Amino acid sequence: MNLDRTHDAAVKSWLASANQPHCDFPLQNLPYAIFRRKGGAEEFRAGIALGDQVIDLAALVRERCLSGLALQAAVACAQPSLNAFFAMGPDAWRALRHAVFALFEAPAAGASTMADTPALETCLVAQTDVEYNLPASIGDYTDFYTSIDHARNIVKLLRPDSALSPNFQWMPLAYHGRVSSIGLSGQQVRRPLGQRLAAGHSVPEVSACARLDYELELGIFIGVGNQEGEPIPVTHAERHVFGLCLLNDWSARDIQMWESTPLGPFLAKNFATTISPWIVTMEALAPFRHAWERPADEPQPLAYLDAPANRSEGGIDIQLEVWLMSELQRKSDAHAARLSRTSFRHQYWTVAQMVAHHTVGGCNLRSGDLLGSGTISGPTAAEAGALIELTAAGKTPVALGNGETRAFLEDGDTVVMKGWCERPGFARIGFGENRGKVLPARVVS
């Protein structure tokens, strides 16, 4: 990936909050969300995070702060979804990011204050004053399964007599997920009812899920789609990807065990999926690219999944954490408990390979489509991205630090996911948070 001035950590913003050391949203990030001021009187529209503010792109247009392709891109952003902006493609994405970077960068030492700072200040809204909406109108949602550590953990726990499915090392496996129940950080998720088969029984029962779990994933937003019947080559795949967010693939393990053969997960997953509001662009992630390596004794990627750039920098070193805040912790003002920490760089398949595989048969992606990366679990036990792995399917509960333990999620639990990139010499690029709370099951009448 090319690095340029927008990746230079030495460049500061005139907005002080953007220059704080642990800020998720420095000048080098500039992620996108759909927002409005709280209260519901305004239309939802696109904004960019900077420090503790939201840059209102519609206001930048109104104040005549933009021109050329950046202006056209900002006009496309003045809508309640980012789909039209996505469809403009990487040149437009880059033009707007660079123009906003220039508007909000601090003047060089000795130069006078920028003339239009007062106008720009009218384009800022405090993040504490806004509410968010889904960033895009999502046409299709596909959930991948691309962490070999996660896959091996699951096989060991649930089907100890079988091996990793032989196709896993040949293709990024995936299934289609549910769009209607995708919600935004803050989503309240009702514990699902469903059929499950108790051990040793042959007749299933219907009850509230007893093994409710999260899955730590990244969400991948498709910027530019493809025509039906026209695969996207792996070499071009990243030009079709706009950016990434945090994704919680809530999972009902008991329902999943009983329903999933032969058609895969259905009700075990489709009651809720939660994403974070801010989409971090692929351009902002450029300094954190990582080699993607396939050990020589494992299957090498088939031609349509292989490219030099994918090997040299297909991975991305995104630090990820899952925290849990129980109702008891919340009421006693206790700290949340960190359940795990890992990095996206361990993933067995890359974002470009997911896109190339998804389209190789001619399936068309559209602007605003969402891909889930699949659970992100690293090579050690503490890096597991789901409770089922951390607790050995409930047999070894984790301690929350306040005396409570968890085998699976309980009512009132809030799951918080965090993500960020850090590397010496570069600004921290953060994803913000993804929160979701478990509500009790509906009473069966």
User: What residues form the annotated binding site for Ca(2+)?
Assistant: 143, 215, 217, 249
* Amino acid found at 42: E
Query: What's the N-to-C CA distance of the chain in angstroms?
Result: 57
Q: Which is nearer to its own copies, 50 or 307 (CB)?
A: 307
383 binds its own copies (CB under 8 A): no
Alpha-carbon span 54 to 127, nearest angstrom: 6
User: Strand ranges (DSSP E) for 209-318?
Assistant: 212-213, 216-222, 241-248, 251-252, 273-275, 280-281, 289-290, 315-316
Spatial strand order in the sheet of 45-50: 124-126, 53-56, 45-50, 32-37, 130-133
Taking CB under 8 A as the binding criterion, the range among 27-35, 139-147, 330-338, 418-426 that sits at the site for its own copies is 139-147
3-class secondary structure, 84: helix
Is 335 labeled as catalytic in the residue annotation? no
| The one catalytic residue among 7, 22, 150, 176 | 150
Q: From the CB of 266, what's the least distance to its own copies, in Å?
A: 5
Q: Which is nearer to its own copies, 361 or 425 (CB)?
A: 361
**DSSP secondary structure string for all residues of 93-132:** HHHHHHHHHHHHBPPPTTSPPPTTHHHHHTTEEEGGGEEE
- 179 binds its own copies per the rule CB under 8 A: yes
Find the DSSP H helices in 275-339: 308-313, 327-331
Tracing tokens 């990024």 back to the chain, one arrives at: 172
Q: Which of 211, 240, 346, 357 binds its own copies (CB under 8 A)?
A: 357
Structure tokens at 73: 């891109």
Q: Which of 17, 19, 133, 181 binds its own copies (CB under 8 A)?
A: 181
Tokens of 343: 């990095």
- Which of 229, 335, 382, 401 forms a contact with its own copies (CB under 8 A)? 229
CB of 209 to its own copies, least distance (A): 8
Among 2, 112, 167, 332, binds its own copies (CB under 8 A): 167
Shortest distance (Å) from residue 295 CB to its own copies: 17
Backbone angles phi, psi at 157, to 5 degrees: -80, -45
* Cβ distance to its own copies smaller for residue 96 or 209: 209
- Contact between 304 and its own copies by CB under 8 A: the answer reads yes
Q: How far is the CB of 55 from its own copies (least distance, A)?
A: 31
When the beta carbons of 9 and 360 are compared against its own copies, the nearer one is 360
Residues annotated as binding site for Mg(2+)?
A: 249, 269, 273
Does position 361 bind its own copies by CB under 8 A?
A: yes
Tokens of 390: 């951390």
123 conformational bin, left if phi > 0, alpha if psi -120 to 50, beta if neither? alpha
The DSSP letter of residue 82 is: S
Per CB under 8 A, the list member of 41, 163, 263, 296 interacting with its own copies is: 263
Active site residues: 150
Applying CB under 8 A, which residues contact its own copies? 139-140, 145, 165-167, 170-171, 173-181, 183, 190, 192-195, 197, 202-204, 206, 209, 225, 228-231, 252, 255, 258-268, 270-272, 299, 302-304, 357-358, 360-366, 369, 439, 442
